[in-house]
Structure 1
Amino acid sequence: MYITLRKNKKIKVNILGEGDPIIFIHSYLWDSNMWEPQLKELSKSFKCISIDLWGHGESDFLNKEDTCSLKELTEDIINIANQLNIKQFDYIGLSVGAMLGTYLALNYSNRIKKLVLMDGYSGDEPISTQEKYINLLNTIEHLKYIPEELANIITPMFFSKNEGNSKGIFYRNFKNELMNKKEKNIDTIVKLGREIFQRENLLNEMKNIKNPTLFLVGDEDIPRPAYESLEMHKLVKNSKLTIIPNAGHISNLENPTFVNSEIIKFLNK
């Protein structure tokens, strides 16, 4: 289904299953399809609501004058919950989805039951990687597409060494999707990328998070190494940290059985 927000722009929302609601937000450059292993399992007991961010999947792109700060994206999530008549929900986010989860917990704690924050970081982006990512975004903005040369740089960041070295199915599919991003979505993708990599530092505020929180991170996550999740876990009193074996940044796809088990144990606790 589509939900209308912001000047009649439509955002894609998928709903599967019945029960207590869970909202899922995907990683940057991916879409809600990345949650397929989790949706298949969790929809047996929960109402699973997965959302495509602006310019990703089947959601509309934003106009030049539109903004998409992480705080505004958080407000979009709340507006979607309101339109679906959902007062409280569990939340699962990966990468930028995890960053948005921090905003939700800090600004809408009464709407959140439990948080699962995967492979994300709500502190500053290190200067060295920030410069690298911004340069990539500038190139993509200029070209209006992602050429294979850049796809070969971006794709390995998301996976474990085994998946990267073997050029497995996840690796190949993601690289292909990168090179086939629609030109009309490129400006929105670049705009969101800049918001992510130049984000504000929320670490000092994370001690105020009261919602039960599970931090999950792949043991081979390149852009968001495990020590970042450990840092956040120490700040959030009511939290647990679990390292996902044999997994990179898109840990939910590389080790879905382990991830599903950890999420279900946490939500049912």
Structure 2
Amino acid sequence: MPHAVTKDNVRLYFEEVGSGTPILFLHEFAADHTNWEPQMRYFSRGHRCIAYSARGYTPSDVPAAPEAYSYQHFYTDALAVLDHLGIDKAHFIGLSMGSYSSLQVSLNAPERALSMTLAGTGSGSSLENLDTFRQHCRDNAAQFETLGSAEVAKVTRAAPGRIPFLVKDPRGHADFYAALARHDAKGSANTMRGFQGGRPSIYTLTDTIRKVPTPALIICGDEDDACVEPSLFLKKHLPAAGLTFFPKSGHVLNLEEPALFNDMVERFIALVEAGRWGVRDPRSVPVQG
């Protein structure tokens, strides 16, 4: 099986298909590389598409040490995949956890990102509730360790932001959470504790975000309440950002509405590659006063 190796010797399983300008797909916490199959099939018609499983998600390695799961590890792992494949820069398409890592790449290595699609971004960012969110992450990690992935999946599948997927596509929803039930429990616990519960809130990164030149498409489901305000925040502060909301949609946007997702992202990437997705024209910004 193909693997890229990180600086701390973690092997990351990846799949690639197609040729052309590279696209790197970064999955959410409850998923793995297979989450992107509808997009791999669609975008590989005109691009070189790569999807990988993050550390802690088999068939990638599952490091034993909890300290090996910081948010820094996750965004540098994305770069390690590109380095392994000899790719200087790519379009980054992320969902949730993958969106956060894509944003971190643009904050720390903007020369590697042609664009970033940030879908379902920023859950848990609220500064007022940050301590509560982090405690929830620690509790959830403990549940993975004591109950196992199958039991935690039963709870996760009924979370509010996941219900629109169930309503629209019960079969797809069932398949998605059957896959989560098979996740490595220790890897999920460490990811929940280290990445999810340890990453900085995007609201603490305002000054840095304002300097990011990367073209960005922000996508949010209008029934994914935890991500609505963070998405508006990113639109306000990312200089070259566009924002769209998917109606009657929750968190798993690329699977809930695959045709709409693919169409929207395809148009975005085409405009970026044509040099037509720039920073906001200052004439469109209302004068404060």
Whether TM-score is above 0.5 comes out as: yes
1:119-152 CA distance string (max 9 Å, x none): 0118735334433332122122233x1343x333
Contact 1:92 1:115 in 2 (8 A): yes
Give runs of aligned pairs for residues 6-85 of structure 1, distance below 5 A: 6=7, 8-64=9-65, 67-85=68-86
Q: Does 1:253 align with 2:265?
A: no
SS of the residue corresponding to residue 90 of structure 1 reads: strand
SS of the residue corresponding to residue 140 of structure 1 reads: helix
Structure 2 residue aligned with 1:135: 139
* Shift in alpha-carbon separation, 1:130–1:63, aligned structure 2, 3 A: closer
Contact 2:144 2:185 in 1 (8 A): yes
Structure 2 residue aligned with 1:198: 198
Structure 2 residue aligned with 1:106: 107
Contact 2:235 2:243 in 1 (8 A): yes
Residue in structure 2 matching 1:207, options 197, 210, 220: 210
- Aligned CA-pair RMSD: 2.1
Instruction: Please say which of residues 58-67 and 113-122 is displaced more in the overlay.
Output: 58-67
Structure 1 residue aligned with 2:154: 152
* Shift in alpha-carbon separation, 1:244–1:165, aligned structure 2, 3 A: closer
1:215-264 CA distance string (max 9 Å, x none): 01112215x33222011110101100011123211111000111111101
Instruction: Please say which of residues 57-66 and 88-97 is displaced more in the overlay.
Output: 57-66
Structure 1 residue aligned with 2:188: 189
Q: Which structure 1 residue ranges, 5 or more long, are not aligned?
A: none
SS of the residue corresponding to residue 65 of structure 2 reads: coil
Q: Which structure 2 residue ranges, 5 or more long, are not aligned?
A: 272-289
The code of the aligned residue for 1:237 comes to: P
**How many residues align structurally?**
263
* Shift in alpha-carbon separation, 1:136–1:66, aligned structure 2, 3 A: closer
Contact 2:140 2:189 in 1 (8 A): no
* Shift in alpha-carbon separation, 1:237–1:155, aligned structure 2, 3 A: same
CA distance in 1: counterparts of 2:229 and 2:15, whole angstroms: 33
The code of the aligned residue for 1:73 comes to: F
Contact 1:106 1:209 in 2 (8 A): yes
Residue in structure 2 matching 1:178, options 177, 180, 183: 180
CA distance in 1: counterparts of 2:65 and 2:162, whole angstroms: 36
The code of the aligned residue for 1:239 comes to: A
Structure 2 residue aligned with 1:242: 244
The code of the aligned residue for 1:9 comes to: V
* Shift in alpha-carbon separation, 1:151–1:20, aligned structure 2, 3 A: same
TM-score of the two chains, using structure 2 as the length reference: 0.83
Structure 1 residue aligned with 2:91: 90
TM-score of the two chains, using structure 1 as the length reference: 0.89
1:158-201 CA distance string (max 9 Å, x none): 755444357701221233223333xxx32221111122133113
Contact 1:124 1:198 in 2 (8 A): no
CA distance in 2: counterparts of 1:136 and 1:214, whole angstroms: 30
The code of the aligned residue for 1:164 comes to: L
The offset of 1:8, in angstroms, is: 4.2
* Shift in alpha-carbon separation, 1:253–1:237, aligned structure 2, 3 A: same
1:28-50 CA distance string (max 9 Å, x none): 12111111111111110000011
CA distance in 2: counterparts of 1:74 and 1:263, whole angstroms: 21
